[in-house]
Each structure stands twice: as C-alpha cells, then as structure tokens.
C-alpha cells in the first residue's frame, strides 16, 4: 500500500499486516466497535529511539502467548500460517 493509504477491512475476512521492507514502518488502526485497544497495549514494544531500534526476535512461546491473549480475552480467531 502507498504511504497514507486507507484500507477498510470487512468483518469476518482474515487479514494480516507485515513489513516487507528493512526500515521501520508505522501502522495506525481504528477498530470499530472499540474493544481491542487493550490488546495492543498488552503486546506492544515501546520504541524509545527509532535510530537505534532493532525489532526483537519472536519465538514460538511469544506467538503462543499472543494467540492465547487475542483468542481468550478478545474472542478473535487466529489463523496460523
């Protein structure tokens, strides 16, 4: 998608977000109805300096933890690759 693009995602349609590039990207998302903002707070990674930030490696245990949070507390289905 282009910079500053808008995407409307319909309910019940599987979707994902991935940064294919090597530079840091930002995603701004609005979810209606509200309810999922706490999920992002639970799994966020705070970036204090974008110049020195390096994304952490994610292992299977991290993925299992995130899937349990999103399915158990927020009722969303996670489709694994």
CB-hemisphere CA count at 13 Å for 39? Answer: 17
pLDDT (0 to 100) of residue 54: 81
Peptide bond between residue 33 and the one before it cis (omega within 30 degrees of 0): yes
* Residue 2 reports pLDDT greater than 70: no
Which carries the bigger pLDDT value, residue 77 or residue 81? 77
* Residue 1 reports pLDDT greater than 70: no
pLDDT per residue over 27-71, tens digit each?
787 777 777 778 878 878 777 888 888 877 888 888 888 888 888
Which secondary-structure segment (H or E) carries 28? Answer: none
Which of these, 66, 27, 61, lies nearest to 74 by C-alpha position?
A: 66
What residue ranges do the domains of the chain occupy?
23-81
CA atoms of 81 and 65, how far apart (whole Å): 16
pTM score, two decimals? Answer: 0.53
């Amino acid at each position: 998608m282009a910079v500053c693009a808008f995407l409307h995602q319909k309910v019940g349609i599987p979707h994902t977000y991935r940064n294919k590039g090597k530079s840091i990207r930002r995603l701004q998302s609005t979810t209606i109805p509200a309810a999922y903002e706490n999920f992002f707070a639970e799994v966020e990674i705070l970036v204090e300096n974008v110049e020195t930030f390096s994304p952490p490696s994610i292992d299977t245990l991290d993925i299992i933890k995130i899937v349990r949070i999103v399915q158990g507390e927020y009722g969303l289905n996670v489709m694994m690759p």
